[in-house]
Structure 1
Amino acid sequence: MNEAGHRGVLRGQGLRCTPARLRVLALLSASARHLSVGEACSRLGQAGKSLHTTTVYRTLETLTAAGLTHAVPGPGPIRYGITGEPHHHTVCQRCGYVAALATEHLSEAVDRIQELTGLRPDARGALLLYGRCTDCSV
């Protein structure tokens, strides 16, 4: 999505189009990963678009409250991603790496989990699955 698209998304949620919000949305949209506040600050700095850590944190909290981003807890810092199509997350228990997993890949498993335990996905239709990523399972 380009800057005009990000502006439209922010305005659609009744939010002002601040430089910080536009930078963070652009960063998360372009990233193939969910990012922590620290990772976001580092990448913004590398791109010559530095923001103070507190600004990035507050921006992500605002965007998450508006439903434009979502927060994924895990070991270590919370990581944030763009909210789009409903998806589940896998979280590495050792390094905290977060990966998105399309809901259709787990639909039968989610139905079975509900049947066995009564556990249902959250309001976004998401489950968190914890384990170890390829790098940490060695």
Structure 2
Amino acid sequence: MPSDPGDLGARLRESGLRLTPQRELILRAVEELGHATPDEVLAQVRTHASSVNASTVYRTLEVLEELGLVRHTHLSDRAPTYHSTREPEHFHVVCRRCGVVRSVDPEVAAPLVEALEREHGFSPDLGHLALFGVCSACSSESPATQ
């Protein structure tokens, strides 16, 4: 699902910004990688433009998030992980043992969302949600093999 430079250009101009090759490369990298940290985006971008530096990637990711083109979540205790908003809405489950990350349809959390809204007047943003636990493959392994 490659980025549409026209759409990106229009969104940037509406915010008083220009479409630059670096911004286009960074958005394309996020879309190609699926879920990526800024360092992973930087490595991907540098395969096309070696002059792009880390601060450009971080600043651009912030701009792209402000424009609603990417979102982030924290899938570890390190850097945030970004993904394109062109992907269907989802939240994440992360295995603490093997590190596998799975995207989950928000309907799975519908009962929780309804309870939070009803009982607490709170509407959660599932796009930033990451639940940590143990996947079925890891939980079925014996302790000696972990």
Task: Name the TM-score, length of structure 1 as normaliser.
Answer: 0.71
Residue 103 (structure 1) aligns with: 106
* Bigger Cα displacement from structure 2, 36-45 vs 6-15: 6-15
2:68 counterpart of 1:70: no
Residue 121 (structure 1) aligns with: 124
2:34 counterpart of 1:3: no
Q: 1:36 to 1:95 in 2, by over 3 A?
A: farther
Contact 1:2 1:26 in 2 (8 A): no
Q: CA RMSD in A?
A: 3.2
Task: Name the TM-score, length of structure 2 as normaliser.
Answer: 0.68
Whichever structure has more helix as a proportion of its residues is 2
Contact 1:75 1:94 in 2 (8 A): no
Q: 1:125 to 1:71 in 2, by over 3 A?
A: closer
Any stretches of 5+ residues in structure 2 without a counterpart?
142-146
Q: 1:6 to 1:65 in 2, by over 3 A?
A: closer
Supply the AA of the counterpart residue of 1:25: L
Q: 1:37 to 1:129 in 2, by over 3 A?
A: same
Supply the AA of the counterpart residue of 1:48: H
Identity over the aligned pairs, expressed in percent? 33
Deviations 1:14-37 (A, max 9, x none): 432122211111111223x21111
Contact 2:11 2:67 in 1 (8 A): no
Secondary structure in 2 aligned to 1:54?
Answer: helix
Q: 1:134 to 1:128 in 2, by over 3 A?
A: same
2:88 counterpart of 1:89: no
* Bigger Cα displacement from structure 2, 113-122 vs 13-22: 113-122
- Between the two proteins, the alignment pairs up a number of residues equal to 135
Residue 49 (structure 1) aligns with: 49
Any stretches of 5+ residues in structure 1 without a counterpart?
none
Contact 2:73 2:129 in 1 (8 A): no
Contact 2:73 2:127 in 1 (8 A): no
User: How much does 1:52 deviate?
Assistant: 0.6
